[in-house]
Amino acid sequence: MYSIQRYDESMAADPTSDSMSSLGDAELLDVVCDEAVRHRRSYSRQLQAIAEIDARGICNEHGHYVGTAALIREMLNLDPHEARRMVAHAELLNETVSPSGARIEAKLPVVAEALAEGAISPEHVEVIRKAITTLPDTASLEDRAVAEKILCEAAVSCEPRIVRRLGQEIHHRLNPDGDKPKDTTLRDPLRRLNIRERKDGGVSGTFDLDAESGALLTNLLSPLTAPTPGPNGWDERSPSERRG
């Protein structure tokens, strides 16, 4: 029987964990970002370990579990779905071993690198996994590699929902003669820009973009819209002002 060691106060590694109230606004934001990156890198390491557990067949040596997912489920007290998802991620993001013992390269190396760097989350990994594994059979290895790169680049700056829509658009483009998408925005991508000129010479307006164009725009803007500390130690501009 495997289980995670129960938390004990003596195990706390961060002596400042109870002093969040003493941090400034910018420092609190940094803590959230830093912990997110650490969590993502830790997940990458966890997947590497799971891949090695699977390669060694440890599930058969310790309790005769029906597959690695069953072992992980009991070790971490997870739902069956979540345990199976972790094993699926481990298989795609790490080297595997063929029946002859030969090492096979990871199927999603770009995603694996981004997760190891803490640039994307487990949720992004799942969205990309589903997008790539459900591409039409006619998609070539080059098509799949390009799709992985596009989706991973979008995941760095976009939420999983946007990456999912981008994956659907890629699938549709690789299989234009297949089943028609239920979502009309995939059949006829929405791209609209309304501009109004003001009396002072300035302009204002609204726009709508499909998932692919939106991801491209976000990727172009994101390096230029990061908060810049001002006199008070933080950026007082709103996100829309920074994008402007």
Alpha-carbon span 76 to 59, nearest angstrom: 14
Residue 110 CA, chain-centre distance (Å), reads 12
Amino acid at 161: R
Amino acid at 233: G
List the helix and strand counts (H, then E) for the chain: 11, 4
Give the single-character DSSP code of 182.
Answer: S
Residues comprising the chain, all counted? 244
Among candidates 32, 17, 23, which has minimal Cα distance to 233? 23
Q: For 204, phi and psi rounded to 5 degrees?
A: -145, 165
User: How many CB atoms lie under 10 A from the CB of residue 148?
Assistant: 22
Instruction: Give the residue extent of every domain in the chain.
Output: 25-106, 108-179+213-229
Among candidates 99, 93, 7, which has minimal Cα distance to 50? 93
Alpha-carbon span 238 to 244, nearest angstrom: 10
Helix (H, G, I), strand (E, B) or coil at 34: helix
Place of tokens 């199976």: 84
Alpha-carbon span 26 to 30, nearest angstrom: 6
Tokens standing for residue 10: 């003596």
pLDDT of residue 13: 46
pLDDT tens series, the chain, 244 aa: 444 444 444 434 454 556 888 888 899 999 999 999 999 999 999 999 999 998 888 887 766 678 899 999 999 999 999 999 999 999 999 987 776 777 789 999 999 999 999 999 999 999 999 999 999 999 999 999 999 999 999 999 999 999 999 999 999 999 887 655 555 555 556 777 788 887 787 788 887 877 777 777 776 776 667 777 767 767 777 677 777 7
Burial letters for 6-38: b for 16+ Cβ neighbours within 10 Å, e otherwise? eeeeeeeeeeeeeeeeeeeeeeeeeeeeeeeee
